[in-house]
Amino acid sequence: MGIYNALFIGASGLSSFGEAVRVIGDNISNVNTLGFKSQNVNFSDVLSQTVGVTRSNIANQVGNGVRIGAITRDQQQGSLQNTTSPTDMAINGNGLFAMRDPAGSGLTYTRAGAFILDKNFNLIDGQGNVVQGFKVDNVTGKAVGNVGDIAFGNLAAQAKATSKVTVGVTLDSNATVLPTGTTFDPANPSTFHYKAQANIFDSLGQTHAVSLQYTKVGQDSAGNIVWDWHASVDGAELKGGAAGTPTEIGNPAPSTIAAGPPPVVTPGPQSLVFGPSGELVKENSPPLAINWANATPSTVAMNFGNAAGQGTLYPVASADAQGITGTGLDSTVQMAGSFATRQVTRDGFAAGFLSKLETDSSGKIFGVFTNGQRRALYQVALAQFPNDAVLSHNGSNLLKETIASGSPVLGLPGSGGMGTISPFALEQSNVDLAAEFVKLIVVQRGYQANSKTILTTDQMLASLMQVKR
C-alpha cells in the first residue's frame, strides 16, 4: 500500500507545481497591466500518516504530499509613469479608486487610474464604470456631501458683475487749471485733462467700456493739488440714455472753489488730493451706482490706491475711501511728465464653459473655463480596506469586497492614512520579471523532481510484477 501512496504523493507535487506555473505565468502576462499586484504561491504539506509507534511513544509519520496553502498578493506599489492626459491619476500610497457600475448600484475598486470622459461628461474607466468622489463647495473649497458620480455635464461659469475697479495712473503735475466756470462734459475733451478706460462686466457678463476723466482743479487750504475724477459710459448702455451720447455716472458734483486770492479748493465727492511728493493723500471715491439698460443695476467700488492718510501733509482722518492707508505711491500718483495709465484691474467675469480639467495631489479636480475662471469641482474618493490583499479580482483591473477583506472606508486623499494623488501619471504593474523567471526555474525543477518520483515508483511496481512469471 505504501508504494502506491508514493504515486499519489508525486501526483500532488505535479498538481501543486502546475498551479504555481499558472500563477507565475499570470504574473508575467500582466507585467504591463496598470495597477496589477503580483501573486506568490505558498506551499504546505498534507496531513501525515502514522505508520507505527515506538516503545518510547514516538510516532513514526510519513507525509502524504504537498498542496497549495495560500496564494497571496504582493501589495507593494508599482512605479509611476508620467502621461499627458489630465484625467490620468495614480495613487501614491494606500487606497483604491471607488467605481460604480452604471448597470448596478454596487461599487468596485481599482488602482488603475486611466480615466476618460464619456459622451455625458462622466469620468469613467475603459469599461464604463463611473469614478466616485465628493462635490466641492464653491465658497469654502472643501468637499461636501456624500460620495457620488463625478460628472461634468452642463457645467458653466456663470457671469459675475464687476464690483471693484482699481485704477493706477500718473497725472501730470504741470497741467494747467482749466478756466473758471468750465463745466465737465464727457463728450467735450476741452472740459477735462486726461482720460483712461476700464472695461467692466454687468450681471449678464456683457462688457462695458467706462471712461475715467481727470480734471485738475487747483490747491486746497494746505497747498495740496486737487483733481476731480468722473466716470461715463455710452448712453445706450443705461436705462433712458441716448445712444452715441457719453453719459456721466456716479456723483457728478465737482469740487468747489472759494474766491481768493489765491483760490482755495474744497475737494468734492469724487476727487483725489496729492501731496508735495506726488503721493495720494486723500481719496474721495464713493461707489458708482450704474443702472444698466439690459442687466441688473451694478454698484462698483472705485479704488485709486492707498492714500497716505492722516498726518502732517493732510491732517484729515479716514483719508482713504477704503480705509486702507499706505505710502500714497502704490497706484494713482501726480508727477511731472506725460499722463500714463499704468494699471487697470477689476473683478467680475463673463459667462464661460468648461474648457479643460486639472487635478492636484489632494485629488481635487479643477475646471478651467473659457472665461479664464478656475475652480474646484470634485475631490476623488479613495477606499481603504482592513485587508485589501484578499479582495476578489473580477477582471478588467477591478476588485470587489469579500467577507475576509472587511468593509471599506471611503475618504479623501491624504487623510486618514490614505495616499495622495499623482496627476498626469499611472501606476504600473509591480511584477519583477527577474524574480518571476527565477521562481519559474525553481518550480520547473520541482515539477521534474516529482515526475521522477512517479517514474521511480512505476519502475518499482514493474519490478514487483516481474517477481511472479
pLDDT reported for residue 259? 75
Q: Is the pLDDT of residue 459 over 80?
A: yes
Higher per-residue confidence, 318 vs 415: 415
What is the spatial distance between Cα 230 and Cα 102, in angstroms, rounded to a whole number? 60
What is the spatial distance between Cα 363 and Cα 412, in angstroms, rounded to a whole number? 8
Domains of the chain: 2-67+436-465 (no CATH), 80-155+353-427 (no CATH), 164-346 (2.60.98.20)
Selection from 204, 238, 215 nearest residue 350 by Cα: 204
Place 56 in a pLDDT band, splitting at 50, 70 and 90. Answer: low
pLDDT reported for residue 236? 94
Average pLDDT over residues 150-162: 88
Which class for 441: exposed (0-12), middle (13-18), buried (19 or more C-beta within 10 A)? exposed
What percent of the chain has a predicted confidence (pLDDT) above 90?
66
The rounded mean pLDDT for the chain is: 90
Residue type, 457: T
Average pLDDT over residues 332-346: 95
Place 289 in a pLDDT band, splitting at 50, 70 and 90. Answer: very high
Place 316 in a pLDDT band, splitting at 50, 70 and 90. Answer: low
Helix (H, G, I), strand (E, B) or coil at 237: helix
What is the spatial distance between Cα 132 and Cα 356, in angstroms, rounded to a whole number? 19
Tell me the HSE value of 297 on the side-chain side, using a 13 A CA sphere.
9
Place 147 in a pLDDT band, splitting at 50, 70 and 90. Answer: very high
pLDDT reported for residue 193? 96
Average pLDDT over residues 376-391: 93
Our CA angle for 127, 417, 357, nearest 5°, is 45
Which residues fall within 8 angstroms of residue 103, CB to CB, at 6 or more apart? none
Q: Is the pLDDT of residue 58 over 80?
A: no
Instruction: DSSP for 54-70, please give it.
Output: -TT--EEEE---EEEEE
Higher per-residue confidence, 408 vs 320: 408
What is the spatial distance between Cα 108 and Cα 286, in angstroms, rounded to a whole number? 59
Cis peptide leading into residue 263 (ω within 30°): no
Place 313 in a pLDDT band, splitting at 50, 70 and 90. Answer: low
Cis peptide leading into residue 262 (ω within 30°): yes
Q: What pTM value is reported for the model?
A: 0.74
Place 457 in a pLDDT band, splitting at 50, 70 and 90. Answer: confident
pLDDT reported for residue 51? 61
DSSP 174: T
Higher per-residue confidence, 204 vs 57: 204
Place 255 in a pLDDT band, splitting at 50, 70 and 90. Answer: confident
Q: Is the pLDDT of residue 200 over 70?
A: yes
Least confident piece of the model among 79-88, 99-108, 209-218, 345-354: 99-108
Helix (H, G, I), strand (E, B) or coil at 51: strand
pLDDT reported for residue 3? 77
pLDDT reported for residue 48? 67
Q: Is the pLDDT of residue 50 over 70?
A: no
Average pLDDT over residues 80-109: 92
Q: Is the pLDDT of residue 27 over 70?
A: yes
CB 116 within 8 A of CB 128: no
pLDDT reported for residue 230? 96
Alpha-helical regions (H) of 203-259: none
